[in-house]
Structure 1
Amino acid sequence: MKVEDSNLKFLNPFLEYDFHEKLTLKKDDLIFFSGSLVECIGNARSDLDIFVLYSKASDRKTYDYDFGELKTEFKRVLEINCDIEYWPIEVLQNIIEQINNINFSNDKRTINHLMIKGYNFKQLSSLLHRFYVSVPHNQNTEMYLSIRETLNESNYFRMMTRFYINAVDNLYDDVIGTMENNDLLTSLHISKSMLVNSLMALLFSKSVSIDREKWVFKKLEKLSSTDKRIEDIYVKSIVHYFERIGSLNEDIEDIVTLSNNIIESIET
Structure 2
Amino acid sequence: MIVKEKVINKVLSDKNLSLKVIVDKLSQVTENSGILLYTSFLEGLGNKNSDIDIYVFLEDNQNFNNQGMRRYGDCLGVEVVRVGDIELDIEYWSINVIEDLIERLTITNGLACSYEELKLLLRIYHGFFTNQNKVSERLLYLIKTSHFLELITNRISLEARSYCDDSLKMFEVGEYILALDCARRALWECASLLNAKNGKPNLKSKWISKIYINNGGYGDQELLERYMNLQIYSTVNKQNLKSVLQNMLSLIQDMLNSTVF
- Cα displacement (A) at 1:141: 5.5
- Alpha-carbon distance change, 173 to 203 in structure 1, aligned in 2, over 3 angstroms: same
Aligned partner of residue 67 in structure 1, secondary structure: coil
Question: 1:21 and 1:6 mapped to 2: Cα distance?
Answer: 22
Corresponding position of 2:130: 137
Aligned-partner residue type, residue 267 of structure 1: V
Aligned-partner residue type, residue 11 of structure 2: F
Corresponding position of 1:111: 111
- Cα displacement (A) at 1:184: 1.9
Q: Give the count of matched residue pairs.
A: 252
Match of residue 32, structure 1, among 36, 40, 45: 36
Q: Give the TM-score taking structure 2 as reference length.
A: 0.82
Residue pair 1:210, 1:216 contacting (<8 A) in 2 also: yes
- Cα displacement (A) at 1:52: 1.0
Percentage of identical aligned residues:
19
- Alpha-carbon distance change, 21 to 158 in structure 1, aligned in 2, over 3 angstroms: closer
**1:109-138: CA deviations, max 9, x gaps?**
7423x5xxxxxx223211110100001123
Residue pair 1:7, 1:40 contacting (<8 A) in 2 also: no
Question: 1:170 and 1:150 mapped to 2: Cα distance?
Answer: 29
Match of residue 57, structure 2, among 47, 50, 53: 53
Report matched runs for 1:5-84 at 5 Å.
Answer: 5=6, 9-11=10-12, 14-17=18-21, 19-54=23-58, 55-67=60-72, 69-70=74-75, 71-77=77-83, 79-84=85-90
Aligned-partner residue type, residue 111 of structure 1: L
Aligned partner of residue 40 in structure 2, secondary structure: coil
Question: 1:22 and 1:7 mapped to 2: Cα distance?
Answer: 18
Residue pair 1:188, 1:252 contacting (<8 A) in 2 also: yes
- Cα displacement (A) at 1:196: 0.5
**1:33-56: CA deviations, max 9, x gaps?**
114244342222222111111233
- Alpha-carbon distance change, 68 to 110 in structure 1, aligned in 2, over 3 angstroms: closer
Corresponding position of 1:257: 250
Question: 1:201 and 1:153 mapped to 2: Cα distance?
Answer: 21
Question: 1:29 and 1:239 mapped to 2: Cα distance?
Answer: 48
- Alpha-carbon distance change, 68 to 27 in structure 1, aligned in 2, over 3 angstroms: farther
Aligned partner of residue 166 in structure 1, secondary structure: helix
Bigger shift: residues 125-134 or 174-183: 174-183
Match of residue 143, structure 2, among 140, 151, 164: 151
- Alpha-carbon distance change, 40 to 78 in structure 1, aligned in 2, over 3 angstroms: farther
Corresponding position of 2:100: 94
Aligned partner of residue 65 in structure 1, secondary structure: coil
Bigger shift: residues 191-200 or 163-172: 163-172
RMSD: 2.9
Question: 1:23 and 1:123 mapped to 2: Cα distance?
Answer: 25
Match of residue 183, structure 2, among 184, 191, 195: 191
Question: 2:119 and 2:146 mapped to 1: Cα distance?
Answer: 17
5+ long unaligned stretches in structure 2? none
- Cα displacement (A) at 1:194: 0.6
- Alpha-carbon distance change, 257 to 74 in structure 1, aligned in 2, over 3 angstroms: farther
- Cα displacement (A) at 1:264: 0.7
Question: 1:98 and 1:177 mapped to 2: Cα distance?
Answer: 31
Question: 2:150 and 2:119 mapped to 1: Cα distance?
Answer: 15
Q: Give the TM-score taking structure 1 as reference length.
A: 0.80
Aligned partner of residue 31 in structure 1, secondary structure: strand
- Alpha-carbon distance change, 6 to 137 in structure 1, aligned in 2, over 3 angstroms: closer
Residue pair 1:168, 1:194 contacting (<8 A) in 2 also: yes
Question: 2:196 and 2:93 mapped to 1: Cα distance?
Answer: 25
